[in-house]
A and B are shown apart, each in its own frame.
Chain A
Amino acid sequence: MTEEIIIAGFGGQGVLSMGKILAYSGMMQNKEVSWFPSYGPEMRGGTANVTVIISDERISSPILNKFDTAIILNQQSMDKFEDSVKPGGVLIYDPNGIVRHPVRKDINVYTIDAADEAARLGLSKVFNMLVLGAFLKLKPLIEPEYMRKGLEKSLPMRHHNLIPENEKAIERGKQLVKLEHLMN
């Protein structure tokens, strides 16, 4: 099993930390993992993206241009990464702020209203965990107990009291993910 994922959105949405939690959890479950961020001008405002690979085998290239799953959280990233999903792959996006929806028919498209839900909960910081929940519903690669270990490892000790809230958000994300259309 090898799962190659791109997570892309605005800086500040928690794109990089979501990738880190996913990678850490994978590692705790004894998988091979890699996490390769955009660290360029993007990080200083604008778009941010991260490539995460979770695999049972040694990972060859951490740098990729085709992905099994794309998690897309803004319009710029939709424009940039829709084409990079492998045929038969998965695209998950939050329709909030998206004006041009995905058009490809050879991939499976899902939506998650994570921004709306985070606003409703009054917890903007769990936005990325809602999205992560959507991903885990579709690709149950990581067991919940290892997700917890991943959260413990990636969050600084002073934020460990927030772990239950994050776990709840992941569960909520699993419920919220909706099928847009399946590949033809």
Chain B
Amino acid sequence: MKDIRLMKGNEAIAEGVIRAGCDGYFGYPITPQSEVLEYLMATKTKERTGMITLQAESEIASIHMVYGGAACGKRVMTSSSSPGISLMQEGISFMAGTELPCLLLNVVRGGPGLGTIQPSQSDYFQAVKGGGHGDYKMIVLAPASVQEMYDFAKLGFELAFKHRIQVMVLSDGAIGQMMEKVELDEQIQRLTDAEIKQKYPWATTGKTPDRERNIITSLDLNPVKQEIININLQKKFKHIEQTEVRFERIMCDDAEYLFVAYGSSARICQKAVLLGRERGIKVGLLRPITLFPYPSKELAKLAKQVKGMLSVEMSAGQMVEDVRLSVNGAVPVEHYGRLGGIMPAPDEVLNVLENKFIRLSVNTPRLCLGIKKIL
């Protein structure tokens, strides 16, 4: 029988990393993601799989412990919420410079500053455009359910090691705190030291006579060499853009209007799509699953089909910039967001879509009828 449980998003990703063969978690508690560390501690990872779970003295320490573990070729991770992730940016940039794979979880809360502990999506720019210094990108996965919180643990580690890149799971307080059904899969064995040596020849696993010393550093004072390092990084990001885009289309086939939303906003929009269809509005939802690489091509395709797009995010308008870049003026793109920990309701976002696109244009008699009914 399948192992099915009712879990919080935070617990699900914690169970997910254990089963994905994670070697070490280093973190510092902060609402709304403290259950990750709590769950790992309570489940006694050391006894279960040999995985280290350590509460560091700060977020800055956590990310540098991850740096150390990753340099040894280990599957390591940290998690935090917005203010804590801000503290980690230096370490993340260093890992980008050294191409160290790791899994990072941001359970976003409202900002700026300490802000609030309620859900928000206002860290999109930080995650997608590079929160630290230098020209770099991370793969950013946006789970919209507790099942995806679980699934993205394994997927995150796979992508991180496949491309030697940092993978951030960009969640939010709502996905972290809510409980849903989760289907668990088999335990993946942690790699042995010999397997790490063989699979990851770049890792600092102890020099052997048959190879050069492995040095993990982001420093090269020779600008010619540094430019080559940067060009190679950019090649990698391009390759990821071409190969790792993920998204979900919900009722897009006949859509005349489109919501674009990720994470918990996507769930709210999913309900708004159903409500809209009840009102006779042909509305669909494109849900980006990877925020970098962004599903730009899919949006450009949909721009040829729909009359307008509404980007819904719990921010003042961050992802909407990528939607606009993707469609390049082909259709009107509007933004709707709530700030500071407030979550929009499904009928609220549907009303915004109607107000922005439908009530102004009198395109088809059928739609007019729909409007009359609402009024």
Residues of A within 8 A of B (CB): 20, 23-24, 27, 32-37, 39-41, 59-66, 153
Chain A neighbourhood of B271, CB < 8 A: 60-61, 64
Q: Are B179 and A61 in contact (CB under 8 A)?
A: no
Question: Which residue of B is nearest A34, CB measured?
Answer: B180
Complex alpha-carbon distance, A62 and B174, angstroms: 9
Given contacts A60-B267, A61-B270, A64-B271, 14 further A-B contacts (CB under 8 A): A24-B6, A27-B181, A33-B179, A36-B177, A36-B178, A37-B177, A37-B178, A39-B173, A40-B116, A60-B270, A60-B271, A61-B268, A61-B272, A64-B346
How many chain-B residues does the 8 Å CB contact rule pick out?
Answer: 28
Q: Are A39 and B270 in contact (CB under 8 A)?
A: no
Complex alpha-carbon distance, A4 and B178, angstroms: 15
Does chain A have a CB within 8 A of B274? yes
Complex alpha-carbon distance, A60 and B271, angstroms: 5
Does chain A have a CB within 8 A of B32? yes
Complex alpha-carbon distance, A35 and B9, angstroms: 11
Complex alpha-carbon distance, A36 and B343, angstroms: 12
* Chain B residues numbered 100-137 whose CB sits less than 8 Å from any CB in chain A: 116-118
Q: Are B32 and A39 in contact (CB under 8 A)?
A: yes
Chain B neighbourhood of A41, CB < 8 A: 117
Chain A neighbourhood of B178, CB < 8 A: 34-37, 62
Complex alpha-carbon distance, A153 and B31, angstroms: 25
Q: Are A153 and B117 in contact (CB under 8 A)?
A: no
Contacts A65-B347, A65-B348: A33 and B270 contacting too (C-beta < 8 A)? Answer: no
Question: Which residue of B is nearest A16, CB measured?
Answer: B179
Question: Which residue of A is nearest B7, CB measured?
Answer: A35
Q: Are B274 and A60 in contact (CB under 8 A)?
A: yes
CB distance from A145 to the nearest CB of B (A): 17
Q: Are A20 and B267 in contact (CB under 8 A)?
A: no
Q: Are B174 and A63 in contact (CB under 8 A)?
A: yes
Residues of B within 8 A of A (CB): 4, 6, 31-32, 116-118, 173-174, 177-181, 264, 267-268, 270-274, 341, 343, 345-348
From B4, B117, B264, B273, give the contact of A63 (CB < 8 A): B264
Complex alpha-carbon distance, A64 and B274, angstroms: 13
From B6, B118, B346, give the contact of A153 (CB < 8 A): B6
Chain A neighbourhood of B345, CB < 8 A: 63-66
CB distance from B146 to the nearest CB of A (A): 8
The 4 A-B residue pairs with the shortest CB-CB distance in the complex, in nearest-first order: A61-B271, A65-B345, A60-B271, A35-B179
Complex alpha-carbon distance, A63 and B180, angstroms: 13
From A34, A65, A66, give the contact of B179 (CB < 8 A): A34
Complex alpha-carbon distance, A37 and B174, angstroms: 9
10 contacts between A and B (CB under 8 A): A24-B6, A33-B6, A36-B178, A37-B178, A40-B341, A60-B274, A61-B267, A61-B272, A64-B345, A65-B346
Q: Are A35 and B117 in contact (CB under 8 A)?
A: no
Question: Which residue of A is nearest B267, CB measured?
Answer: A61
Question: Which residue of B is nearest A59, CB measured?
Answer: B180
Chain A neighbourhood of B177, CB < 8 A: 36-37, 39
CB distance from A52 to the nearest CB of B (A): 9
CB distance from B338 to the nearest CB of A (A): 11
Question: Which residue of A is nearest B346, CB measured?
Answer: A61
From A24, A37, A63, give the contact of B268 (CB < 8 A): A63
Complex alpha-carbon distance, A41 and B270, angstroms: 28
Q: Are A39 and B6 in contact (CB under 8 A)?
A: no
Contacts A27-B4, A39-B32, A40-B118: A20 and B343 contacting too (C-beta < 8 A)? Answer: no
Q: Are B343 and A63 in contact (CB under 8 A)?
A: yes
Chain B neighbourhood of A60, CB < 8 A: 267, 270-271, 273-274, 346
Chain A neighbourhood of B267, CB < 8 A: 60-63
Contacts A61-B346, A64-B345, A153-B6: A20 and B179 contacting too (C-beta < 8 A)? Answer: yes
Chain B neighbourhood of A32, CB < 8 A: 181
Question: Which residue of A is nearest B349, CB measured?
Answer: A61
CB distance from B147 to the nearest CB of A (A): 11
CB distance from B24 to the nearest CB of A (A): 27
CB distance from B259 to the nearest CB of A (A): 12
Question: Which residue of A is nearest B146, CB measured?
Answer: A34
Chain A neighbourhood of B268, CB < 8 A: 61, 63
Q: Are B180 and A33 in contact (CB under 8 A)?
A: yes
Question: Which residue of B is nearest A153, CB measured?
Answer: B6
Question: Which residue of A is nearest B341, CB measured?
Answer: A40
